[in-house]
């Protein structure tokens, strides 16, 4: 965009502010100004304060010192006097927290998505995107290619589909500043490309400024003009895109770290991996309200195999995992065997769950935020959302060891809702691992993690699979997040198995749309 003949004026000014959250002072005396000719990216490690400073900008946290001023009158308007407030459509934020609140309005527990009758009180996408201007609504739908979702219940959307719907809703509000907090998180490759195109178009609009929060440097669009670097709840650098991304700050923020197992967290068992069947599905199908989510799935997984399940948003990947984890009641309408027993033959869901470690976006959305993080990890022994019984001393100790291994022991006494989204993901991974499961189900475990944490998690998973008898099912939308331990790849599309191949074939030929 050419701003040569356009006057530059402030839009928002954070003037010497200090924040307070849960009695703790953060961002002591920081200043930041967003001007009318600037688009910003905010980068930093997990827990560095990226989302917090966005919350301050949106007046969602308490400011104890300094002031935030908004100038939304325009360069030539006499009404462009500073004010300490903004109208609801002037700044619009799309974030994981907005996604979480949306899903909580539809249901109070994470399994509700898999209960077809639970969608009765849930809004449809068309209801949620109510807009007087049909032309404006259709333009947003076309941009994001989500016309096919209009009659779908919000409750029945996949994680990636829900994000697209939230972006469409934000565009309908015609904001002056649009904040994308980790917008590519949970999207497949095609959807990421489409969203990049959408953001590139939005960056060309005179009437709109973009702020993009990300943990991946490669996600910063070319149209971003300035970058804000965060570390330890402080602004450590800010300036033009060229100066910041060329400097050492950006590289240091995303430096990889190594992982090891010096404290013996991995409980290596004596028994060698066998070749017996862990999971078998025959002609398995799942549908909700006449919509087929899975169709005619025939698949077998043996001990010693580690599977990646790939495919576009809405392909049925998470639904497949819900059948294995005993969360989906349609498991009883199908011929499915887990750990050598046909489901519905007398075993309880707890017989299944005690052998499985599970991590998914739904757990992060619905896990009670008041629970302290050590209790979150301990709840993995009981497969409960919240800790409802006292763990044994051995279990409490195991939880502490896993938190130490993952570098999150400092969060043990902090409430789950107080830590960053990336830090929450690390806590939930410890929860999945704590009972040394026979089978590990990881649905996008690296979602929302910065580069150093992604590398650490992938290294840990590879070590776990090579040194213990655990078997793995792993969902991802990124080739670079696939552990070396993966042996097989299943590609789903529109609820059907499109292809099954060995890992090497999938990577060499880049098969599948992640």
Q: What average pLDDT does the segment 241-263 reach?
A: 68
Query: Given this model, what pLDDT does residue 340 score?
Result: 86
Position 258 pLDDT exceeds 70: no
- Which residue from 412, 416, 316, 438 is spatially nearest to 366, judged by alpha carbons? 416
Q: Residue 238 domain-assigned?
A: no
Q: What average pLDDT does the segment 420-430 reach?
A: 92
Q: What average pLDDT does the segment 145-165 reach?
A: 86
Q: What average pLDDT does the segment 87-108 reach?
A: 85
Q: What is the mean pLDDT of the chain?
A: 86
Q: Residue 31 domain-assigned?
A: no
DSSP string, 258-323: ----TT--S---SSPP---EEEEEEEEEEEETTEEEEEEEEEEEETT-EEEEE-STTSSHHHHHHH
Question: Between residues 456 and 402, which one has the greater pLDDT?
Answer: 402
Q: Measure the CA–CA gap between 307 and 316, rounded to whole angstroms.
A: 15
Q: Residue 11 domain-assigned?
A: no
Question: Cβ atoms within 10 A of the Cβ of 67, count?
Answer: 12
* Confidence band, pLDDT 50/70/90 cuts, at residue 374: very high
Position 274 pLDDT exceeds 70: no
Residues 6+ apart with CB under 8 A from 282: 298, 334, 335, 336
Q: What is the CATH number of the domain that holds 386?
A: 3.40.50.300
* Residue 403, domain extent: 304-326+347-508
Q: Which of 174, 203, 229 is the last residue of a domain?
A: 174
Domains: count for the chain: 2
Q: What average pLDDT does the segment 430-440 reach?
A: 95
Model pTM? Answer: 0.83
In a shared domain, residues 358 and 503: yes
Q: Residue 33 domain-assigned?
A: no
Position 1 pLDDT exceeds 60: no
What are 6-23's pLDDT values in tens digits? 678 899 999 999 998 878
Query: Given this model, what pLDDT does residue 249 score?
Result: 72
Q: Residue 336 domain-assigned?
A: no
What are 459-510's pLDDT values in tens digits? 999 999 998 899 999 999 988 899 999 999 999 999 999 999 988 777 665 5
**DSSP-derived 3-state class of residue 422:** helix
Q: Which of 151, 174, 197 is the last residue of a domain?
A: 174
Tokens representing 307 are 């599977």
**Least confident residue range of 9-18, 112-121, 169-178, 473-482:** 112-121
Question: Between residues 77 and 221, which one has the greater pLDDT?
Answer: 221
**Least confident residue range of 64-73, 96-105, 356-365, 404-413:** 96-105
Query: Given this model, what pLDDT does residue 275 score?
Result: 74
Q: What average pLDDT does the segment 424-436 reach?
A: 95
Q: Which of 123, 143, 174 is the last residue of a domain?
A: 174
* Confidence band, pLDDT 50/70/90 cuts, at residue 271: very low
Position 136 pLDDT exceeds 80: yes
Q: Residue 458 domain-assigned?
A: yes
Percent of the chain at pLDDT above 90? 53
**Least confident residue range of 13-17, 235-239, 261-265, 492-496:** 261-265
Q: What average pLDDT does the segment 145-156 reach?
A: 88
Residues 6+ apart with CB under 8 A from 454: 446, 481
Position 384 pLDDT exceeds 70: yes
Position 272 pLDDT exceeds 60: no
- Phi, psi torsion values for 498, nearest 5 degrees: -90, -35
Tokens representing 321 are 């995992």
Q: Residue 313 domain-assigned?
A: yes
Query: Given this model, what pLDDT does residue 246 score?
Result: 85
In a shared domain, residues 309 and 166: no
Q: Residue 44 domain-assigned?
A: no
Query: Given this model, what pLDDT does residue 94 score?
Result: 92
Query: Given this model, what pLDDT does residue 116 score?
Result: 52
Query: Given this model, what pLDDT does residue 257 score?
Result: 53
**Least confident residue range of 1-5, 228-232, 313-317, 420-424:** 1-5
């Amino acid at each position: 965009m050419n701003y040569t003949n356009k006057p530059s004026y402030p839009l928002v000014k954070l003037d010497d502010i200090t924040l307070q959250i849960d009695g703790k002072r953060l961002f002591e005396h920081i200043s930041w100004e967003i001007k009318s000719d600037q688009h910003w990216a905010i980068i930093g490690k997990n827990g560095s304060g990226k989302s917090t400073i966005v919350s301050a900008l949106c007046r969602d946290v308490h400011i104890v010192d300094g002031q935030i001023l908004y100038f939304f009158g325009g360069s030539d308007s006499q009404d462009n006097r500073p004010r300490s407030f903004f109208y609801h459509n002037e700044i619009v934020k799309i974030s994981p927290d907005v996604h979480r609140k949306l899903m909580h309005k539809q249901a109070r527990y994470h399994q509700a998505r898999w209960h077809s009758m639970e969608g009765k009180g849930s809004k449809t996408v068309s209801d949620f995107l109510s807009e007087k201007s049909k032309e404006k609504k259709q333009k947003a739908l076309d941009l994001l290619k989500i016309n096919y979702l209009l009659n779908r219940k919000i409750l029945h959307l996949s994680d990636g589909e829900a994000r697209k719907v939230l972006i469409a809703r934000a565009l309908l509000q015609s904001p002056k500043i649009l904040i994308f907090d980790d917008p590519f998180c949970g999207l497949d490759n095609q959807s990421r490309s489409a969203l990049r195109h959408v953001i590139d178009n939005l960056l060309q609009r005179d009437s709109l400024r973009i702020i993009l929060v990300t943990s991946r440097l490669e996600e910063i669009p070319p149209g971003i003009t300035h970058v804000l670097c965060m570390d330890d709840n402080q602004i450590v650098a800010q300036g033009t895109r060229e100066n910041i991304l060329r400097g050492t700050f950006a590289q240091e923020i995303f430096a990889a770290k190594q992982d090891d197992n010096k404290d013996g967290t991995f409980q290596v068992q004596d028994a060698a991996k066998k070749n017996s069947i862990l999971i078998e599905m025959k002609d398995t199908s799942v549908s909700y309200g006449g919509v087929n989510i899975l169709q005619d799935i025939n698949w077998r997984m043996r001990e010693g195999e580690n599977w990646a399940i790939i495919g576009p948003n809405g392909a049925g990947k998470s639904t497949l995992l819900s059948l294995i984890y005993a969360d989906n009641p349609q498991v009883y309408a199908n011929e499915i065997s887990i750990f050598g027993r046909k489901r519905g033959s007398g075993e309880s869901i707890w017989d299944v769950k005690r052998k499985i470690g599970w991590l998914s976006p739904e757990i992060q959305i619905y896990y009670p935020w008041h629970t302290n993080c050590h209790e979150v990890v301990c709840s993995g022994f009981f497969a409960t959302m919240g800790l409802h019984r006292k763990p044994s001393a051995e279990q409490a100790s195991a939880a502490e060891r896993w938190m130490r291994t993952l570098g999150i022991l400092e969060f043990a006494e902090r409430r789950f809702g107080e830590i960053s989204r990336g830090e929450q993901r690390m806590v939930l991974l410890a929860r999945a691992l704590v009972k040394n499961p026979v089978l590990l189900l990881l649905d996008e475990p690296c979602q929302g993690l910065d580069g150093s944490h992604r590398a650490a998690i992938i290294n840990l998973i590879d070590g776990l699979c090579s040194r213990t008898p655990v078997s793995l099912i792993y969902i991802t939308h990124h080739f670079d997040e696939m552990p070396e331990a993966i042996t097989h790849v299943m590609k789903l599309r529109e609820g059907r198995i499109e292809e099954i191949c060995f890992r090497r074939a999938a990577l060499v030929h880049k098969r599948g749309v992640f």
